[in-house]
Amino acid sequence: MDPINLVADRLGLDQKHLIPFGHHKAKISLDAIKNNGPQGKLVVVTGITPTPAGEGKTTTSIGLTDGLGRLGHRPVVNLREPALGPIFGIKGGGTGGGKARIVPEDEINIHFTGDAHAVGSTHNLLAALVENAVYRNNACDMAPEGVTWSRVTDASDRALRQITTGLGGNANSPLRETRFDFITASEIMAILALAADPEDLKARLSRMVVGTNRSGAPVSVDDLGLAGPLMAVMRHTVMPNLVQTVEGQPAIVHAGPFGNIAHGCSSIIADRLALGYADYIITEAGFASDLGFEKFMHIKTRQSGLAVSAAVLVASVRAMRWHGGALRRELAQPNLAAMESGAANMVHHINIVRSFGLPVVVALNRFDGDSVEELQAAARIARDAGAYATAEYSGFTDGGEGGVALAEALVRATNDASVAPQQIDYAYDLDATIEEKVLGLARRVYGAESVSWSAEARRRARFFTQQGWGNLPICMAKTHLSISHDPTLKGSPSGYAFPVSDIRASVGAGFLYALAGRIETLPGLPSQPRAMAMDVSAEGEIINL
C-alpha cells in the first residue's frame, strides 16, 4: 500500500484537507469539495438479480477503476462501508476479491474509522433519551406504546428481532415491546448517505419521527429537543473516508445503508467530493437494478441533483444458468440452454436501466467453467436488448488489466453524444399518490400487472398523506433474490400482483418504505458462520477475512 498522502496527491487533494487515521486511511474535510470548475463523469454500477453464489459487483467496480487508471484516466471508486454482520455471517468481507480489492481490507471491514459505530451509538442514544422522556412524562404526551423507535446492533442476532424492554419493575420502565434492527437498516445510516452537509444532517435528524402521542400525532426528534446530542456523536461521520485499491487508485468509502431496506448507496457527499477531482467516479448501488439502481435514481439523484453519465450492469454466465433452472451445484458447468433461458433476467435489468434514459454497458464477469459459446451468446443477447456495449471482465484474476476492455467500452459510452442522457424519465412523479408511485414501480421495475395492498398498509398510507408526507419517494423493501417479491421466482416474472404488506415512514431520510413479502431488518447467522474460520495470527493479521 502507498502512504495515504500519496493516494491523496494522485487524486489532487490538498494535504490540508486530509485527516489521517494511521498510514493507510484518512478522512477528508468537507472544505475539499469543489462546487465550481470541471466535473467528472458519474457512473453507477448495478447488476442482474444475484444468486446464492454472488456475482462480483464490488469486485467489478474496483477492477473497472483500476482499468481506467491503466488507460491514463484519473478515476475514483466510491463504495459503501461493509457491515460487520455479513462479514462474520454468510457473506464475508465487502472489499472486493482477488486482485480487485480495496485496502487495508482488514481495517475497512472491521471498525474502519468508526462511522458505523457512531451511527449505532447515535441510534441507541436516541432510544434511551426517548424512553427516559416517556418515563419522566416529558415526551409530548407520548405513552410507552406510542414509541416506535427501535434499537440497533451490528451483529446478526435473530434473538433480538422482537423483544420486551423495561422488565423488572417501575424503576426499569417504560415497559414496551420493541425490536433490534441492523445498523445498516437504521434511518440514521440512510440520512448519513443522503445528507448534503452538517446542517442538512442536523435538519434531517430533527425530522425523524420516534413515535406518536396519545392523540395519534407524530412526535419528532425536534419536538423532544434531542437533535443536539445526536449531532455530538455524529459530527465527524459526515467526512468521507479515503483508502486505495491494490493498484493504488483512490477509493472513497462512506456510509452503508441496507440495500433492500434503505437505498443501498454510498453518500452524496462522497460523490460530490469526487466529482471535483476525478475524470470518472465509479459508484456502486446495492443488489440488482430493481433495488439499488432504482433507488439511486429515484431517491439519491432526485435529492442531490447529481447527473449520471452511464450505468454498468454486472452479469455472469453462471447467474444466467441459475435463472435458467440450473442447480447451485451445476453453476460451474457449461449449460448453453439454461444460460440462454436465464438471460431473460439480464434483459429485464437492461430494460430497467434504459427506461431511465441511461446508456448501459454490460460487464460479463468471467468465472471458471464459462464456455466461449455462452459468453458469445450472452453478449449477443445483451446487445439485442439495447445494451450500448458488452465487455468480458476478469479483474478478480487479472486486476486492472482484466478491467481494461470494460473501461474502454465505458469511455466510448460516456463520450458518445448520441446516447448522452437527457432528462431522466422517472417511474413516477413525486406529487402522485403513494399508491400510484408503488404501482409505477411495480409495473416498470418488477414486471407486475397490479399491486395488492393489505388493510394495514392502506391505513398507514392514508395517515402519511394526512401528515403531508405523501410527496416523498418510495423506497421498496423486498427480496434481492428475485425481480419480484418472491425469492423463488427466477428469471423475469411478469403479469402478477405485487403485494404490499406494510409501509413505514423515514421522514428524516426523506422517503417512505413499502414492504413486499417478509423482510427481516436484522439478519440471522447461518449454520456455519464465517466467523468460525477467523482468527488473528502471531503477527497480528486477521486470518480468513
Supply the pLDDT for residue 52.
81
Which CATH number does the domain housing residue 149 bear? 3.30.1510.10
Same domain for 252 and 208: no
Asked if residue 420 belongs to a domain, the reply is no
Same domain for 507 and 454: yes
Distance from the first to the final alpha carbon of the chain = 18
Supply the pLDDT for residue 305.
93
Residues forming beta bridges with residue 250, ordered by sequence position: 244
- Which distant-in-sequence residues (6+ apart) come within 8 Å of 255 by Cβ? 80, 81, 115, 189, 192, 193, 266, 267, 270
Measured distance CA(430)–CA(422) in Å, rounded:
19
Place of cell 486530509: 18
Same domain for 227 and 182: yes
Same domain for 374 and 447: no
Place of cell 419480484: 484
Per-residue pLDDT of the chain (545 residues; tens, 9 = 90+): 999 999 999 999 999 999 999 999 999 999 999 988 889 999 999 999 999 877 899 999 999 999 999 999 999 999 999 988 888 887 778 899 999 999 999 999 999 999 999 999 999 999 999 999 999 999 999 999 999 999 999 999 999 999 999 999 999 999 999 999 999 999 999 999 999 999 999 999 999 999 999 999 999 999 999 999 999 999 999 999 999 999 999 999 999 998 878 899 999 999 999 999 999 999 999 999 999 999 999 999 999 999 999 999 999 999 999 999 999 889 899 999 999 999 999 999 999 999 999 999 999 999 999 999 999 999 999 999 999 999 999 999 999 999 999 999 999 999 999 999 988 999 999 999 999 999 999 999 999 999 999 999 999 999 999 999 999 999 999 999 999 999 999 999 999 999 999 999 999 999 999 999 878 888 898 898 989 999 999 998 888 88
Q: Which of 415, 450, 484 is the last residue of a domain?
A: 415
Which CATH number does the domain housing residue 362 bear? 3.40.50.300
Same domain for 389 and 491: no
Instruction: Evaluate if pTM is beyond 0.85.
Output: yes
Same domain for 263 and 226: no
Same domain for 498 and 363: no
Can you read off the three cell numbers belonging to residue 151? 434499537
Asked if residue 351 belongs to a domain, the reply is yes
Instruction: Report the SS3 class of residue 242.
Output: strand
Asked if residue 311 belongs to a domain, the reply is yes
Same domain for 489 and 393: no
Same domain for 326 and 381: yes
Instruction: Report the SS3 class of residue 431.
Output: coil
Asked if residue 534 belongs to a domain, the reply is no
Q: What are the Cα distances from residue 187, in Å, to 144, 199, 221, 429, 466?
A: 21, 17, 13, 23, 22
Structural domain boundaries enclosing 123: 115-234
Measured distance CA(12)–CA(29) in Å, rounded:
14
Q: Which of 204, 234, 264 is the last residue of a domain?
A: 234
- Please count the structural domains in the chain: 3
In 27-104, alpha helices (H): 57-70, 84-88
Can you read off the three cell numbers belonging to residue 131? 424512553
Supply the pLDDT for residue 92.
74
Amino acid at 497: A
Same domain for 410 and 280: yes
Measured distance CA(487)–CA(73) in Å, rounded:
40
- How large is the C-alpha radius of gyration of the chain? 23
Supply the pLDDT for residue 37.
84
Which CATH number does the domain housing residue 464 bear? 3.10.410.10
- Which distant-in-sequence residues (6+ apart) come within 8 Å of 1 by Cβ? 23, 24, 103, 104, 244
Measured distance CA(457)–CA(429) in Å, rounded:
21
* DSSP annotation string for 168-187: SSGGGPPPEEE-EEEGGG-H
Residues forming beta bridges with residue 18, ordered by sequence position: 28
DSSP secondary-structure letter at 350?
Answer: H
Asked if residue 426 belongs to a domain, the reply is no
Q: Which of 217, 234, 251 is the last residue of a domain?
A: 234
Same domain for 46 and 72: yes
Measured distance CA(492)–CA(290) in Å, rounded:
11
Measured distance CA(436)–CA(428) in Å, rounded:
8
